[in-house]
Structure 1
Amino acid sequence: MGDAPPTFIVFLMLLCFVIFSVRKEHLIVPIIIAMCFLPGDISLKLGSLDFQAIRIMALAGLVRIYFSYGNTNLKLNSIDKLFIGYNVLGSITYVIASQNIFGAILNKSGGFIDSVILYIVFRYTIQSKESIKLIVKVFCICVILLLPFAIFEFYSATNLFSILGRSRISIRDEEIRAACTFSHSILFGSFAAALVPMLWADFMIEKKMFKMIALLGCIFFVYACSSSGPIIALAATVFFLVFFKWKNHSRMLAWGVLIAATLIHFVREKPIWQFLFVRISIKANSAGFHRYLLVDAAIKEFWHWWLLGYGDFGAQWHLKYWPWTHAPFTDMTNHYLLVGVRGGFFTMFLFIILCYKIIRIMGSFAIAHNDKNDQWLWWGFTVLMITHCISFLSVAYFGQITMLLYLTIAVSSFAYDESQRTNEIIEHISKIT
């Protein structure tokens, strides 16, 4: 984790100033700008405490919300409760399992701000469909602004965001892996892949040139990151966007995928995760075999981590199952397993239920609308969450991409509230008629 250069501090303070200056319905704008342009692992240090941009922006947003809304009571729906419950349970189990209890409490307190507080800021900011449209528009602009930086980095092996502290260039087998402001190229590519369905849906609603440029920019980001995971996630995204025409048959598709996966698992000599991570690999030099070993080790070591996880010890599976790599730690390149080894099986189970519920709610909301533009809007966010779930298999989220995940969850919570209000209106009309 790097120390913040002066330019980083100035940019961060400027965005915080914007948070307190803009109208409350535009509060989301500086946060999205920070998501795209401020490196997530660079921090301001205050004694032994680290304050990353995400943490400072979350706190600034919370203060602004308090003074803007006065009464900050938020009526929690099932999505909110699941998200907060999963975070609270994960924090408790992590602290209990840790050796350094005080350090674990500090770690999870910071994580609580990064996740729950930021999520609350998003929830208060997303008040209407106009808020959703604003989010998409700001992402379009940010992607277009990022595009020349990514092109320059990919073709010159020079990261212009060194001015903000992000100077490291990743090169694997003589292939440049662009990352822009992100900590790793695969995070950058996964971030871009996740934006594609949202931007494509927006383009289908209103066909404008700048929207197409933003969409093509995200596709280039996926290519420039030179990683298999984002490329596969993008391919899946395209499939689900094409499936829009048959979205009413989503349940049948889900059952078909489950049955196919089960058949592949039992017909082949190797398990399904070997097929997913080793056989389906775009780049010859990818870490697919490592991801296969991770899932294998997680299953073999299940009774060691299922209750509380490993806390601050971390999983030491590499020492037992692949010591030849001489790795200093087990690199958790799988977000589902990261949640599990940090918080135990029940925390991971809550997280999976949360993901399922989000996809189901937004998918149903898309199908329920009669207006095709509304169908595209909500189907785009449905596929966005599906893309997250696919990316979870190849990368553990941290830094700016977690902000996009929490934003997606907040949008789904808004969709849930809207669907409930619609159902209440229909029920009321049916009673009076």
Structure 2
Amino acid sequence: MTRGQVLEIGPAHFTVVRILVTVGILRVLLKGERIANGMNQVDRWLVLWAVFLIASSIFHTSDAWVFRIGLMWSEVGCYFLFRVFIQDAKDVEQIFKALCVALVPIAVLMLLEKATGKNFFSILGGVEEVATFRNGHFRASGPFSHPILAGVVGATCFPMALYLWKSHRKHAVLGLFSAGGIIFASTSSGPIMMLLFILFGLALWKVRDHLRSIRWLALTAIVALDAVMKDPVYFLMARIDISGGSTGYHRAQLIRSSIEHLDEWWLAGTDYTRHWMATGIFANANHTDITNHLLGIGVMGGLPSMFLFIMVLVAGFGKVGKTLRENESASMEQRLLIWTLGAILFGHVWNFWSISLFDQSVVFFYLILAGISAVQVAKPFAVNVEVKQSVGRMRQSRYVSRLG
């Protein structure tokens, strides 16, 4: 569904996602359901971030709190519903299979949109009927607010299909078609780069025992590049143009401008960024186009808000590492599922430097984060020990009864 389907009640705007969250919360309360494996560090950091973001409304316009409560209702609400509904690794695998099928019609309609220039989701409202046209190509967006956001969904689901290749080949084929078709139809460099980072993360599975050395090597390379480059190292994104017509320079310059105007937003954000860049944004005369998810959070709530969200990501990666360490005796397939979720999160983090998620595409980010929090593979070794102890007690009891 597009964002054009909205139920307005006073100052509140309930999109389809918010309505679903409301219904989901009612179900959870009525059935007395609980989140999987109890509260963890990801959950706690996310709650702190949400509370601070809403509290920082006092430094902004009078209606800022309405927007932020709605934002947290959608995002944090989705996350905690996923934490309730996704209980274990089996549920994560079922989600992978379901998405491989559910995205097929969206991929087909987006491919038709790219070929014809007509967005068939426009009859639902919220999206333009004519597809975006740039450098001789139509860029399909489907039900999403922008082609890049649509491509992010495809990039998120592509590795899900790869994971299913050995165990569920038919679902994997459908998933590769649908996710790949969405990325192709979006004609955007960002989703392609996101997918490449995810594939790189998956490739690190073979050298996972050397991950610490790889991280230090990457940090050293970044510092060295920053030392020899004329511009800051983040201007490397200005030179990337895979699909043609990429605006990497805008994204790099946005980071530079945010640093130059740090005094305006570091404490609790700002309501005016239009002077940061030479170009603005049609939807809001007070802001430039904040094509950076982390910076967008900073504009809303300052460096404290950005820090809290970064800690959510750090806790997510920490959860992946902890789960792998605690389940060294689990099957290779189970451990690979955990690693796949971490690789997708890795791709999202890199993608945050080039786009700010603001429509239903953000649901897919919280789906991955919740999946990481839910997966807790059972330890076969511990189970075997308990079984052996139980069998031993039974044998001892029989021996004693015979003696009696």
TM-score interval, normalised by the smaller of the two chains: 0.7 to 0.9
Given candidates 278, 283, 293, the residue that maps to 1:322 is: 278
Indicate if the aligned counterparts of 1:314 and 1:342 stay in contact, CA closer than 8 A. no
SS in 1 for 2:361: helix
Higher helix share: 1
Show the 5 A alignment for 1:365-384.
365-366=323-324, 368-369=327-328, 370-384=330-344
Give me the whole-angstrom Cα distance separating, in 2, the residues matched to 1:83 and 1:48. 25
Deviates further, 358-367 or 332-341: 358-367
Selected match of 2:19 from 44, 47, 56? 56
Instruction: Please give the secondary structure, in 1, of the residue aligned with 2:103.
Output: helix
Whole-angstrom distance in 1 between the partners of 2:82 and 2:187: 31
How far the C-alpha of 1:297 sits from its partner, in A, is: 0.7
Query: CA separation in 1, counterparts of 2:350 and 2:71?
Result: 23
Segment of structure 1 superposing worse, 57-66 or 247-256 = 247-256
Write the distance in 1 (CA, Å) between the matches of 2:381 and 2:76: 29
After superposition, give the CA deviation of every residue in 1:65-92 in whole Å (9 maximum; x if it has no partner): 1112268899422111011111111221
Question: Aligned match of 1:90 in 30, 53, 57?
Answer: 53
Instruction: Tell me how far 1:58 sits from its aligned partner.
Output: 0.2
Matched, 1:240 2:201: yes
1:210 aligns with 2:171: yes
Judge conservation of contact 2:279–2:288 (CA < 8 Å) in 1.
no
Larger radius of gyration: 2
User: Residue type matched to 2:47 in 1?
Assistant: I
Q: Which runs of 5 or more structure 2 residues have no equivalent in the other structure? A: 390-404
Q: Partners in 1 of 2:108 and 2:224 — Cα distance?
A: 45
Q: Deviations over 1:111-143 (max 9, x none)?
A: 221122222211111112221122111111112
Q: Corresponding residue for 1:131?
A: 91
- Residue aligned with 2:242, SS: coil
**Distance change (3 Å), C-alpha of 1:377 and 1:74:** closer
Q: Distance in 2 between matches of 1:307 and 1:124?
A: 34
What are the within-5 Å matches in structure 2 for residues 172-191 of structure 1?
A: 172-191=134-153
1:112 aligns with 72
Distance 1:346 1:120 in 2: 22
Deviation at 1:388, TM superposition (A): 0.8
Please point out which of 243, 251, 257 is paired with 1:291. 251
Correspondence for 2:2? 39
Contact 2:108 2:181 in 1 (8 A): no
Query: What is the CA distance between 1:153 and its match in structure 2?
Result: 0.9
| Match for residue 255 of structure 1 among 213, 216, 225 | 216
Whether the aligned pair in 1 keeps the contact of 2:100 and 2:157 (CA below 8 Å) is no
TM-score, normalised with respect to structure 2:
0.87
Partner of 2:392: none
Q: Is residue 333 of structure 1 aligned with residue 294 of structure 2?
A: no
Counterpart-to-counterpart distance in 1, 2:336 and 2:102: 22
Alpha-carbon separation, structure 2, partners of 1:207 and 1:110: 38
Q: What whole-Å deviation, never above 9, does each CA across 1:94-118 have from its counterpart, x for those lacking one?
A: x122122xx1121122122112222
Q: Is the contact made by 2:36 and 2:374 (CA closer than 8 Å) also made in structure 1?
A: no
Q: Which stretch of structure 1 is more off in the superposition, 345-354 or 208-217?
A: 208-217
- Equivalent position amino acid for 1:346 in 2: P
Select which of 196, 221, 228 maps to 2:189: 228
Q: Aligned runs of 1:70-81 on 2, under 5 Å?
A: 75-81=38-44
Contact 1:201 1:380 in 2 (8 A): yes
Match of 2:370 in 1: 410
Amino acid aligned to 2:49: Y
Q: Quick one: distance in 2 between partners of 1:396 and 1:208?
A: 34
Kindly tell me: are residues 71 and 288 of structure 1, through their superposed partners in 2, closer, same or farther at Cα, counting changes over 3 Å? closer
Between the aligned partners of 1:144 and 1:71, the Cα distance in structure 2 is 32
Q: CA deviation at 1:261?
A: 1.0
Structure 2 vs 1, CA of residues 388 and 41 (structure 1 numbering), >3 Å: closer, same or farther? Answer: farther
Compared CA separation, residues 366 and 280, structure 1 to 2 (3 A): farther
Distance in 1 between residues matched to 2:164 and 2:8, nearest whole Å: 40
The one-letter code sitting in structure 2 at the alignment partner of 1:317 is H
Distance 1:288 1:90 in 2: 28
Q: 2:319 aligns with which of 348, 352, 361?
A: 361
SS at match of 2:264: helix
* SS of equivalent residue, structure 1 residue 282: coil
Distance (Å, rounded) in 2 between the aligned partners of 1:334 and 1:382: 21
SS in 1 for 2:118: coil
Task: Show the counterpart of 1:398.
Answer: 358
3-state SS, counterpart of residue 51 of structure 1: strand
1-side partners of 2:260 and 2:154: how far apart? Answer: 34
State the one-letter code of the partner of 1:200.
L
Q: 1:160 to 1:366 in 2, by over 3 A?
A: farther
Q: Give the partner amino acid of 1:173.
A: N
Q: Distance in 2 between matches of 1:145 and 1:294?
A: 36
Report deviation, 1:203. Answer: 1.9
Instruction: Kindly provide the amino acid, as one letter, of the partner of residue 80 in structure 1.
Output: D
Structure-1 separation of matches of 2:300 and 2:81: 25
Q: How many aligned positions are there?
A: 381
Structure 1 residues 251 and 231, CA, compared in 2 at 3 Å: closer, same or farther? same
Aligned-residue Cα RMSD (Å) equals 2.7
Measured in 1, the distance between the counterparts of 2:178 and 2:95 equals 17
